[in-house]
Amino acid sequence: MIQHFFKYDECELEDLGGGVKRKILSYNNNLMVVEVSYEKGAIGALHQHPHEQITYIIEGEFEFEIDGEKKVLRAGDTTYKEPNVMHGAVCLKPGKILDIFTPCREDFIGGK
């Protein structure tokens, strides 16, 4: 059964440790939207995955590294990561991002 509505207050806030917290806002098999909050100095370690990803910076300032290239981005900026590209980020000023994945990150939802 497809879920059409996701209420923000009912989305679980997951503490990932290291100053990073995540809320899965909505998803289905082919698409997922996740809000991630970072404290200053928090690190999204370099990693890769088979999903395409777009990140929208809601607030704060981050140094992103994608495929060896580093850029500082602020509110309103976006990134695109193709499948299997190495990427990560360091939070320079407390912030919040919106990650959009295709397909859905099954590893985030534990196969729900």
Look at residue 99 and tell me whether its pLDDT is greater than 70: yes
Q: What is the share, in percent, of the chain residues with pLDDT greater than 70?
A: 98
What is the distance between the alpha carbons of residues 80 and 71, in angstroms, rounded to a whole number? Answer: 13
* Amino acid 91: pLDDT: 98
Helix (H) or strand (E) holding 59: strand 52-66
Q: For domain 13-107, is the CATH number 3.50.40.10?
A: no
Over the range 31-46, which residues count as b (16 or more CB within 10 Å of their CB) and which as e? ebbbbbbbeeebebee
- Which residue is listed with tokens 């190495």? 86
pLDDT band for position 110 (cuts 50, 70, 90):
confident
* Amino acid 112: pLDDT: 45
Please report, for the chain, the start and end positions of each structural domain, with discontinuous segments joined by +: 13-107
Q: Determine contact, residues 61/95, Cβ cutoff 8 Å.
A: yes
pLDDT band for position 21 (cuts 50, 70, 90):
very high
What is the distance between the alpha carbons of residues 61 and 111, in angstroms, rounded to a whole number? Answer: 32
